[in-house]
Amino acid sequence: MILAIVGPTAVGKTKMSIMLAKKYDAIIINSDAMQVYKDLNIGTAKVTEEEKEGVPHFLFDIKNVDEEYSIYDYQKDVRKLLEEYKDKNIIFVGGTGLYLKSALYDYDLDKESGKNDYSSYSNEELYKMALEKDKNCDIHPNNRVRLERFLDKEKTTHKEPVKLYDHLIIGLTVDRDILYERINKRVDVMVNQGLLDEVKYFYDNKIYSKPLINGIGYKELYEYFDGEVSLDVAIDNIKKNSRHYAKRQYTFFNNQLDVNWFNVNLDNFEETYLNVLDFVEKNKGEL
């Protein structure tokens, strides 16, 4: 049986995954793009050893922050695990929808995806290449960054990828205002737990890898250490960018994945767990 727990940050995905893993004697596989990296702990709200409660976890802390790790690499690694543990119950947990989709569907990824050098091409040439890839591409010809990202996106053999593994996707959600309040509070907790020290270690060591210059909670503090913004502004930017990311997560989950949504009872998480468990029990015969 394969389950996946998805949703925006701060809704209880980790807690739900542990509870279900203990119930079904399952292993847990990470599907969060930032949590594959070692030492990015506070800023990613990574599961702690204590929180794991002895449940085996995979694809967490597998790369140094200055090592390349693409969605192609993730797909390759996760497919090995799916084969190795095909006789076990498996639970995916994380907020990177594309990682989950690349694992469970027949995405045919280009090994070099995300690593191409376009410095020798003009904007006009990039735009022409984008139109050749998708004639409906609506990116402005002068938006070079978006054009390069579009050209580096994974190649698929199907417009609608075919499901390779039977699975159930559980989505956890709360009212939007409550979610934003929880995100803001979580950022404050991260700061109190030592987020600045976590980020400053990498900054002082002059590490400017993708997770650090693009990752929420890290890029904003790099701007602070560079003297571009005050600490208050940097923290506010982390909160704002986290809220915006939550919106994008909902958009992906709703449009790209078959998610069964559950409203989280924040005052009684056990009730939410029992509702999810009831749903899994009623549908696991299809898996």
Do 71 and 194 lie in one domain? The reply is: yes
What residue type is assigned to position 204 of the chain? D
Do 177 and 272 lie in one domain? The reply is: yes
Distances 179 to 7, 97, 184, 239 between C-alpha atoms, Å: 11, 19, 9, 11
Do 99 and 125 lie in one domain? The reply is: no
Q: Has residue 165 got a pLDDT over 80? A: yes
Average pLDDT score over residue span 5-15: 94
Cα distance between residue 194 and residue 39, in whole Å:
12
Residue 28 phi/psi, 5° resolution?
-120, 130
Do 204 and 75 lie in one domain? The reply is: yes
Domain end (from 103, 123, 153): 153
| Domain ranges, residue 126 | 114-153
pLDDT attached to residue 112: 43
Do 141 and 258 lie in one domain? The reply is: no
The answer to whether 12 and 264 are in contact (CB under 8 A) is yes
Q: Has residue 159 got a pLDDT over 70? A: no
pLDDT in tens, 97-106: 999 999 999 8
Do 212 and 133 lie in one domain? The reply is: no
Do 122 and 242 lie in one domain? The reply is: no
Q: What is the DSSP letter of 232?
A: H
pLDDT in tens, 227-280: 999 999 999 999 999 999 999 999 999 988 999 999 999 999 999 999 999 999
Cα distance between residue 93 and residue 11, in whole Å:
12
Cα distance between residue 10 and residue 92, in whole Å:
17
Do 121 and 260 lie in one domain? The reply is: no
Looking up residue 84, the CATH number of its domain turns out to be 3.40.50.300
The total of structural domains in the chain comes to 2
Do 61 and 138 lie in one domain? The reply is: no
Cα distance between residue 220 and residue 230, in whole Å:
10
Do 124 and 225 lie in one domain? The reply is: no
Do 100 and 190 lie in one domain? The reply is: yes
Domain end (from 126, 153, 180): 153
Q: Has residue 178 got a pLDDT over 70? A: yes
Coil, strand, or helix at residue 262? strand
Domain end (from 138, 153, 168): 153
Do 179 and 266 lie in one domain? The reply is: yes
Q: What is the pTM of this model?
A: 0.82
Which residue is associated with the tokens 């069964």? 260
Please enumerate in sequence order all residues whose Cβ is within 8 A of that of 229, keeping only pairs 6 or more positions apart, or say none. 220, 223, 237
